[in-house]
């Protein structure tokens, strides 16, 4: 496989042909923010946080979907991009109920971390606070729609890795909701294998393990890479 050389934030980096700008930058220690991307899953291109400026292109491009090219010049953290990212995080925080102080994932939440990293210390938008239910029908897990940012990592991991496709999105726009099967309670789902992958990939406290109280939940982000690597190397086939 051939190698491409490109410039990211003034640094010359090398990447494999076919690699995305996001993963090439990540490999070189340049952490582009993201919420919908997760290594091992297909790309949604939905959170718009990883948008970068590429010289010679008028429109901002999602780093998670843009392939590297020779001599490409990429800027990942211009003032304009940072302003956009802050406003996107503010939009997410205002969209539903994200009160960290009463969340199981307080201290280990990707949305919280990103807000801190981007310096979002207050939200200038009107909070929407829609009245959303919490589904506690599953034996081991819970789903709190108030914390959901609709990144669809759960939908993709369930479909692409577990192969169950329990989760999907219903409704549109601000009425979009993650649903299990055809909208029945999670605990009644016939397709759910209770594997818990969705819980581990969820960036916020929307999907959580029962029995954890405020700030007690921690997610195992490494497990997906472990599974994907093991599959690739066929470690389960003797």
Cα(225)–Cα(98) distance, integer angstroms: 28
CB of 194 to another protein, least distance (A): 25
Cβ(171)–Cβ(78) below 8 Å: no
CB of 174 to another protein, least distance (A): 5
Give the residue with the Cβ less far from another protein, 46 or 195. Answer: 46
Nearest CA to 21 out of 57, 61, 58 is that of: 61
Q: First and final CA of the chain: distance in angstroms?
A: 29
Cα(49)–Cα(85) distance, integer angstroms: 6
CB of 112 to another protein, least distance (A): 16
Give the residue with the Cβ less far from another protein, 48 or 212. Answer: 48
CB of 39 to another protein, least distance (A): 18
Give the residue with the Cβ less far from another protein, 36 or 224. Answer: 36
Which residues lie below 8 Å from residue 50, measured CB to CB, with a gap of 6+?
Answer: 22, 32, 33, 34, 37, 62, 63, 64
Cβ(186)–Cβ(180) below 8 Å: yes
User: What string of DSSP letters covers 124-171?
Assistant: -SPP------EE--SSSEEEEGGG-----HHHHHIIIII----EEEES
CB of 205 to another protein, least distance (A): 18
Cβ(74)–Cβ(6) below 8 Å: yes
> How many other C-beta atoms lie within 10 A of the C-beta of residue 31?
12
Give the residue with the Cβ less far from another protein, 150 or 192. Answer: 150
State the residues that interact with another protein by CB under 8 A: 44-48, 51, 59-60, 62, 65, 83-84, 87-88, 91-92, 94-95, 124-126, 128, 149-150, 168-169, 171-176
Give the residue with the Cβ less far from another protein, 51 or 100. Answer: 51
CB of 58 to another protein, least distance (A): 10
Give the residue with the Cβ less far from another protein, 51 or 192. Answer: 51
């Amino acid at each position: 496989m051939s190698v491409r050389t490109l410039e990211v934030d003034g640094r010359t980096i090398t990447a494999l042909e076919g690699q995305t700008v996001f993963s090439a930058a990540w490999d070189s220690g340049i952490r582009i923010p993201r919420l919908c991307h997760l290594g091992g899953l297909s790309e949604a291109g939905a959170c718009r946080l990883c948008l970068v400026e590429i010289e010679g292109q008028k429109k901002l491009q999602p780093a998670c979907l843009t392939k590297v090219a020779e001599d490409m010049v990429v800027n990942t953290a211009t003032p304009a991009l940072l302003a956009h990212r802050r406003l996107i995080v503010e939009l997410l925080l205002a969209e539903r109920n994200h009160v960290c102080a009463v969340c199981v994932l307080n201290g280990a939440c990707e949305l919280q971390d990103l807000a801190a990293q981007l310096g979002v210390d207050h939200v200038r938008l009107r909070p929407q606070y829609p009245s959303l239910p919490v589904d506690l029908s599953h034996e081991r897990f819970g789903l709190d729609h108030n914390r959901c940012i609709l990144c669809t990592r759960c939908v993709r991991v369930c479909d692409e890795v577990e192969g169950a496709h329990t989760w999907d999105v219903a409704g549109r726009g601000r009425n979009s909701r993650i649903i299990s099967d055809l909208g029945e309670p999670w605990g009644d789902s016939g397709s759910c294998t209770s594997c818990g992958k969705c819980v581990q990939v969820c960036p916020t406290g929307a999907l959580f393990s029962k029995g954890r109280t405020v700030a007690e939940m921690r997610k195992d982000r490494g497990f997906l890479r472990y599974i994907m690597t093991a599959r690739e190397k066929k470690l389960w086939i003797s």
